[in-house]
Chains A and B, each alone.
Chain A
């Protein structure tokens, strides 16, 4: 299999891969959600005639009671799931790597080749992902420290909040730019089969030539995802799972999974753009 030309790199060429990745996320999500929901069902909620509808009923009596009586256990189970979460995040990162590899290849995808190519790049991709996360965390800490130094005049609460919001926006922009840069570096790793240093150098080159695209090119796709999530929240509200009917749960499940597929598709679209960036700058 050979690499596609810059003009051919499109997410829409890989619908199967996008669905497979959404499926991967669904499987990982199941591993995380199952133990918690089993605990909730076993708390007496599953014994109610109306089932767990009561958790979503107006007033929130049973929800508050569940958190009061089982909050510590839910927290303990959630803590116990941290290794599963770490493994799932690694799997998701690797799956994103597979997405980059798949988008870059020409012709019909063969699973073995996709996996072997992804596996070859996985350590570097994971290292880059971990490093990016760490750098973003450091930015957050710096933001918190800077926030404490901001003056809060007694009689100017709105400007004070605006100052805080501006600082957070700055931190978010820096973290977002770092994330965009990291994705471009990942694209370079995959596209040019390069080492980490070379990939970072290419990413810097992209930033120099197209600073906005290389750092914030993901923003339109993030907005698509956010719009989908907001629309789904509105529609699931209309489904009102506090009322009887298995169809309501099924409809909400379908809506939420559509959001996840949209999220993966949006990421694929951004990755395709990142691949185009490193392909044309090479």
Chain B
């Protein structure tokens, strides 16, 4: 059946071009899990057992497995995750209450072999880390065959740190079971230690997980959950999900639940008491987002979506995505502040259902394919819904997510390439600026320069070709080339891989009468002296300006000329070459030049040098506002 395996490998592999690839309806089931988990809430422990099925879809026999034991990231401060003296990951936290996983048994049914005794740590180049283990097989697993692993394990949860753990009786359980590293088409495993800057990668499969929790707890989990019989004082739920690649759950007695059917999806929102307004905002945002993203990146295919809003004290478990389950966060009064933080985090995590969930790119090797593209999707969705004030509206100001991302991107954008592994970034702050903000600004720039409709089509092509296929950057480049052209694809490749940047600036503006004719002239009638005062007003004016492009991105821009009679005129520059010389002759004086007047190039390193006038206009509005604030300050704010 090698041909069948090869065909399947093609469907999950990465041929050169997929720009017009039709979307798959379902994923290939490579790694499927049937697990039972019992939560001992007072001890913050989870006991688990069940089976893991691995289908060898490749064309080569497998002689080993790699398992990720990511709960061991919180076992001690010698793990790769907690080793840094500056604190771990995005939160910068140190471990307070340790968490770990003990695998008790790993038995290969088809091989009649207990595999666990032969396991060995395998975190690449890291002897102290215990989050990545190699398990040799006693016999090879041939192509097209399935291996069933019987597994038993015990998890001690940490106090909430980086999206998993407990606070009091609240539990959020993620990265909690022994999980197969992603089997690649060539028969290798994409295994890696739990890096503080990295997220995850796994094969698709089916998950059938039975959860046993205290009777009063409200549970949120990946998949569709239905009650099953439980022992006294306990509650059991069986949660089933197909075409997914991870499973997370939460259990807390104090959750309040809201539920709504939208676009054929059963949406549940779990919030702490007192967060009714947040729950409503999250429901409204999901209702908008399912339609908005569905129209752009393909239908959301799962019957359920659970939104978990953790209590504030467990905020580090928020702002994360899992298949069919997302976590948000924020104080109960956040919706009244003028900032749209709840909306932004909800739409961002919802967007991950496509980029992380359905496409399942490798977040370790190329985090920009998930976080970067998703940040662009988030900003576009927020702009579509809220306009210029998509991030904040108040104090007479409207600030957009795109403007904030652009500023962050410009501050750090040229430090590192966008397209590199999560662990290769200097720090999470650098990754945040470059992967999240710069990628978003890059795609906003492509949208504004080459047309929003064209980029929407390109991303729709990419989404179709990426759905259930673990995409790589080449697919994205192909999709952009197909709809936006070679120039756009060239700029995209440079921006992604070469730290390419751009700064358009106006260097000089001059304007003068075209033919002053002042001076001493020898004419037929004799010598005549024309004083300057006689030549005003001039009939014609000439103008001259120099617009420069610094950097290696060649993006087309417009150049706007402003005249003293209020008239404006636009010129197009295709961005080729390093300078554009503006030559003008006309009836009015050239008083100013602006490059990229509509701020299409959000990757522009410096927006303050995009314009030049013959006379500085000062900043009267800023002066007035500062004056008022200073006067209020002197009055102590109150009489």
Residues of A within 8 A of B (CB): 25-26, 28-30, 32-34, 36-37, 40-49, 51-53, 55-70, 85, 88-89, 92, 152, 154-158, 161, 218, 221-222, 224-226, 229, 233, 236-237, 241, 246, 249, 252-253, 256, 259-260, 263-264, 266-267, 270
Given A41-B619, A44-B608, A266-B639, CB of A59 within 8 Å of CB of B313:
no
Q: Which residues of chain B have C-beta atoms less than 8 A from A266's C-beta? A: 639
* Chain B residues close to A by CB (< 8 Å): 167-170, 253-254, 272-275, 311-314, 331-333, 387-389, 396-400, 402-404, 406-407, 410-411, 560, 562, 568, 591-592, 594, 597, 599, 602, 606-613, 616-624, 626-635, 638-639
With A41-B616, A51-B617, A58-B389 as given contacts, are A68 and B611 in contact (CB-CB < 8 Å)? no
Q: How far is the CA of A33 from the CA of B396 in the complex (A)?
A: 19
In contact, B624 and A45 (Cβ under 8 angstroms): no
Q: Are A218 and B639 in contact (CB under 8 A)?
A: yes
Interchain CB contact under 8 A, A46 and B638: no
* B170: A residues at CB distance < 8 A: 154
Among B389, B592, B621, B639, residue most surrounded by chain A Cβ atoms (within 10 Å): B639
B609–A60 CB distance below 8 A: no
A69 touches B624 (CB 8 A): no
Q: A152-B313, A154-B168, A157-B312 are in contact. Are A52 and B628 (CB under 8 A)?
A: no
Q: Give bound CA distance, A59 to B403, whole Å.
A: 6
B627–A29 touching, CB < 8 Å: yes
Nearest-CB residue, chain B, relative to A165: B333
Q: Given the complex of chains A and B, what is the CA–CA distance between A267 and B635 in angstroms? A: 9
**Chain B residues whose C-beta falls within 8 Å of the C-beta of A222 in the assembled complex:** 638-639
User: Could you tell me if A61 and B599 are in contact, using CB atoms closer than 8 angstroms?
Assistant: yes
Given contacts A48-B594, A60-B403, contact A28 B313 (CB under 8 A): no
**12 cross-chain CB contacts under 8 A:** A26-B631, A29-B634, A30-B627, A44-B611, A46-B618, A51-B619, A58-B389, A59-B398, A157-B274, A226-B638, A229-B632, A266-B639
Nearest-neighbor residue (CB-CB) of B387 within chain A: A58
Nearest residue, chain B, Cβ from A24 = B634
Which residues of the other chain, B, contact A263 by a CB distance below 8 angstroms? 632, 635, 638-639
Q: Which residues of A contact B396 (CB under 8 A)?
A: 56, 233, 236-237
Roughly how many angstroms separate A25 CA and B616 CA in the complex, as a whole number?
28
- A59 near B402 with CB under 8 A, answer yes
- State whether A92 touches B607 (Cβ < 8 A): no
Q: Determine whether the beta carbon of A64 is less than 8 Å from that of B406.
A: yes
Whether A157 lies near B410 (C-beta < 8 A) is no
B398 touches A68 (CB 8 A): no
Q: Chain B: which residue is nearest A52 at the CB level?
A: B619
Write out the residue numbers on chain A whose beta carbons fall within 8 Å of the beta carbon of B633. Answer: 32, 85
A60 touches B616 (CB 8 A): no
In Å, the complex CA distance between A31 and B81 comes to 52
- In the assembled complex, the CB of B319 is this many whole angstroms from the nearest CB of chain A, namely 17
Contacts of A45 in B (CB 8 A): 608, 619, 622
- Asked if B594 and A49 make an inter-chain contact with CB atoms under 8 angstroms apart, the answer reads yes
B406 contacts across to A, CB distance below 8 A: 61, 64-65
Indicate whether A89 sits within 8 Å of B403 (C-beta atoms), given known contacts A48-B613, A53-B621, A154-B272: no
In whole angstroms, what is the CA distance A220 to B169 when docked?
Answer: 48
Instruction: Please determine whether B411 and A68 come into contact, CB atoms closer than 8 angstroms.
Output: yes
Contact of A154 among B313, B624, B631 (CB under 8 A): B313
How many angstroms between the C-alpha atoms of A68 and B632 in the bound complex?
Answer: 26
Chain B residue contacts of A34, Cβ below 8 A: 623
Note all chain A residues with C-beta closer than 8 A to B602: 61
The answer to whether A33 touches B398 (Cβ under 8 A) is: no
CB neighbours (8 Å) of A55 from chain B are 619, 621-622
CB distance from B224 to the nearest CB of A (A): 27
Contacts of B332 in A (CB 8 A): 157-158, 161
| B639 & A267 in contact (Cβ 8 Å cutoff) | yes
> Which of chain A's residues has its CB closest to B620's CB?
A249
In whole angstroms, how far apart are the Cα atoms of A85 and B632 in the complex? 12
Q: CB-CB < 8 A to A157: which residues of B?
A: 272-275, 311-312, 331-332
> What are the 5 A-B residue pairs with the smallest beta carbon separation, nearest first?
A58-B388, A44-B608, A158-B274, A37-B623, A155-B254
Residues of A within 8 A of B623 (CB): 33-34, 37, 40-41
- Among B313, B388, B411, B607, the residue within 8 A (CB) of A62 is B607
Residues on A with beta carbons closer than 8 Å to the beta carbon of B273: 155-158
Measured between alpha carbons, how far is A93 from B627 in the docked complex, in Å?
19
**Cα of A263 to Cα of B639 in the assembled complex, Å:** 5
Q: Are A37 and B622 in contact (CB under 8 A)?
A: yes
Looking at the assembled complex, report how far the CB atom of B181 sits from the nearest CB atom of chain A, in whole angstroms: 35
Whether B399 contacts A63 by the Cβ 8 Å rule is yes
Asked if B274 contacts A253 (CB within 8 A), the reply is no
Given A47-B611, A249-B621: A154 touches B630 (CB 8 Å cut-off): no
**How long is the Cα–Cα vector from A263 to B332 in the complex, in angstroms?**
34
| Residue in B closest to A84 when the chains form the complex, CB atoms | B630
Contact indicator B634/A40 (Cβ below 8 Å)? no
**For B388, B407, B597, B599, which residue has the most chain A Cβ atoms within 10 angstroms?**
B407
Complexed CA–CA distance, A241 and B621 (Å) = 7
Residues in B neighbouring A62, C-beta threshold 8 A: 607-608
B624 near A253 (CB under 8 angstroms)?
A: yes
The residues of B that contact A158 with a CB separation of less than 8 Å are 273-274, 332
Give Cα A69 to B634, complex, Å: 28
Cα A169 to Cα B618 with chains together (Å): 43
**B311:A47 contact, CB within 8 angstroms:** no
- Residues from chain B with Cβ under 8 Å of A233 in the complex: 396
- Please name all residues of chain A whose beta carbon is closer than 8 Å to the beta carbon of B168 when the two chains form the complex: 154
Determine the distance from Cα of A271 to Cα of B312 in the docked complex, in whole angstroms.
45
B407, A25: Cβ atoms closer than 8 Å: no
Residues of B within 8 A of A59 (CB): 388, 398-400, 402-403
Q: Please name 16 further chain A to chain B contacts, defined as beta carbons within 8 Å, in addition to the given A65-B407, A154-B170, sorted by A numbering.
A: A26-B627, A29-B630, A36-B622, A37-B619, A37-B623, A47-B592, A52-B622, A56-B396, A60-B400, A154-B311, A155-B272, A157-B332, A218-B639, A222-B639, A224-B639, A270-B639
Residue from B170, B606, B619 having most chain A Cβ neighbours under 10 A = B619
Q: How far is the CA of A27 from the CA of B93 in the complex (A)?
A: 49
Among B314, B387, B397, B609, which residue has its beta carbon within 8 angstroms of that of A63?
A: B397
Beta-carbon contact of A44 and B609 below 8 Å: yes
CB distance from B437 to the nearest CB of A (A): 11
Alpha-carbon distance A56/B609, docked complex (angstroms): 18
Rounded to whole Å, the gap between the CB of B626 and the closest CB of chain A is 4
Partner of A46, one of B616, B627, B629: B616
Question: A25 to B619, Cβ gap below 8 A?
Answer: no
A49 contact set on B, CB distance < 8 A? 560, 562, 568, 591-592, 594, 597, 611, 613
